[in-house]
Amino acid sequence: MASLPEGSFGREYLRFLEDNHVTPDSRADVRFVDNEELAYVMQRYREVHDLLHTLLGMPTNMLGEVAVKWFEAAQLGLPMCALGAVLGPLRLSTSRLQTLFTSLGPWALQNGRRARCVLSVFYERRWEQNLEDLRQELNIDPPPVIPSASKQRST
């Protein structure tokens, strides 16, 4: 992916992985889902989560995670997304709460509701596509602000 052009989805995803010290293999396998098809959907959701960080331009700090959860809750309606969207803000500082409620939250909810289904995209065939073009295709606006990537806990 390092050889892909600047601005491509794959190159930006690689940058996200490196900047946040995560790998695609770091997600645990789905457990406690007996239905094979539902287990596949949940596994794909886990795989797509980090790709969403790239699409949405969000780091893995608490504010970035909460913004992604708000998008996922609006888009997917999964209880775990809604729970993360509700409980996540409890760990944010006052200034980050203000950013969430005044800009990132409304943006995430609006984009989650109107975007194409993000679970049905074959991202692995989109590495060379320009990130901005992919966002446009999926009906996702760029974020109004990008929270600093610091993973330090805000107080």
| Per-position pLDDT tens, the chain of length 155 | 899 999 999 999 999 999 888 888 766 677 777 877 878 787 888 888 889 999 999 998 999 999 999 999 999 888 888 888 899 999 999 999 999 999 999 999 999 999 999 999 999 999 999 999 999 999 999 999 888 765 444 33
Provide the token pair at 96.
Answer: 């980050």
Q: Is residue 29 in a domain? A: yes
Note whether 51 and 13 are within 8 A (CB): yes
CB atoms within 10 A of CB 62: 21
Looking at the DSSP assignment, which residues form a beta bridge with residue 22? none
Q: Is residue 101 in a domain? A: yes
- The dihedral over CA atoms of 135, 105, 26, 78, expressed in degrees to the nearest 10, equals -90
Q: Which domain holds residue 44?
A: 9-138
Q: Is residue 144 in a domain? A: no
Q: Is residue 146 in a domain? A: no
Note whether 17 and 50 are within 8 A (CB): yes
* Alpha-carbon gap, residue 59 to 41, rounded angstroms: 24
Provide the token pair at 51.
Answer: 């790709």
DSSP 8-state symbol, 130: B
pLDDT at 155: 32
Which 3 state secondary structure label does DSSP give 77?
coil
Q: Is residue 89 in a domain? A: yes
Number of domains the chain is built from: 1
Query: Which residue shows structure tokens 């052009």?
Result: 5
